Amino acid sequence: MNKSQFDKMKNGEGFIAALDQSGGSTPKALAGYGVKEDSYSNEDEMFDKVHEMRTRIITSPSFSPDRILGVILFEQTMDREIEGKYTGDYLADKGIVPFLKVDKGLAEEENGVQLMKPIPDLDETLRRASERKIFGTKMRSVIHEPNTSGIKEVVEQQFKFGKRIIAAGLVPIIEPEVNIHSEQKEKSEEILCDEILKHLNELSEEENVMLKLSIPTKANAYKKLVEHPRVVRVVALSGGYSRDEANEKLKENDGVIASFSRALATDLSADQSEEEFDAALKKAVDSIYDASVQKN
């Protein structure tokens, strides 16, 4: 593990940019960027288009290590290059910590939750990630209802994979997202916090994780997680909130920083000039940065 990257993630001021849209979410991300489905004819061309978008974001002068602590990448992005360097190397050289999305998507809903699908090639992916200068990983599950057995299963699965990731020398971002539209969101968050605490307390002093959580209904509901010695950082997903809404809710939670995706890229467009693009990205970056650091 890179000690300077660990220190940046633990103590740095800023936020994590989530640029990890996978096959299922890429068309929507491209559409939001102004690239319609009729502009590519197959999956390879689609991924070329989204890599162009990500490259434009990452290479922008507005995408600064003074504001951006880390970036979550899709697996294909890790294997592609930016300006002649593998993406992880490019980011590390820029002073930004690279992470990799390793989950294979969500299983069907059962017991009020969606577990992760199996990750059969995880060990090989982690080996390649280490070669590509990746610092950590990210895995997403979703909680729809306050079903105790379902939430317990979600957290158990996350930490089971998380321990394998730690053993490979990387830091896992554990992401049990709570659906922001759930009618009993706060109750789900109470159960989730308790279950995560149980697993954190079982980790050794050499085992550290990050947590990526929906912004809680009750301010500072995850205070015990933020303060836990085994937690490097708690980051928040925007979860479908607008950027302004997500920023305002984030400000209520001490010690939690952003890890936004759609809320970061919402005003970016393929037909913007470089000046317009950089200005729109700077506005987004600055607002999310301010929401992340002003109360930490």
Q: Reply yes or no on whether 160 is catalytic.
A: no
pLDDT at position 294 over 80? no
Within 8 A by CB and 6+ apart from 171, the residues are 1, 6, 9, 135, 136, 137, 165, 208, 209, 210, 232
pLDDT at position 24 over 90? no
Q: Which of 133, 138, 212, 249 is catalytic?
A: 212
113 vs 37, higher pLDDT = 113
Distances (CA, A) of 133 to 137, 140, 227, 285: 12, 22, 28, 24
Q: Are strands 81-82 and 68-73 parallel, antiparallel or unpaired?
A: unpaired
Residue entry with tokens 């979860």: 239
Q: Which of 145, 175, 177, 195 is catalytic?
A: 175
Within 8 A by CB and 6+ apart from 260, the residues are 15, 17, 18, 236, 237, 238, 243, 246, 288
Q: Which of 18-32, 259-273, 281-295 has the lowest mean pLDDT?
A: 18-32
Q: Whole-number mean pLDDT of the chain?
A: 95
Mean pLDDT (whole number) for 206-223: 97
Q: Reply yes or no on whether 110 is catalytic.
A: no
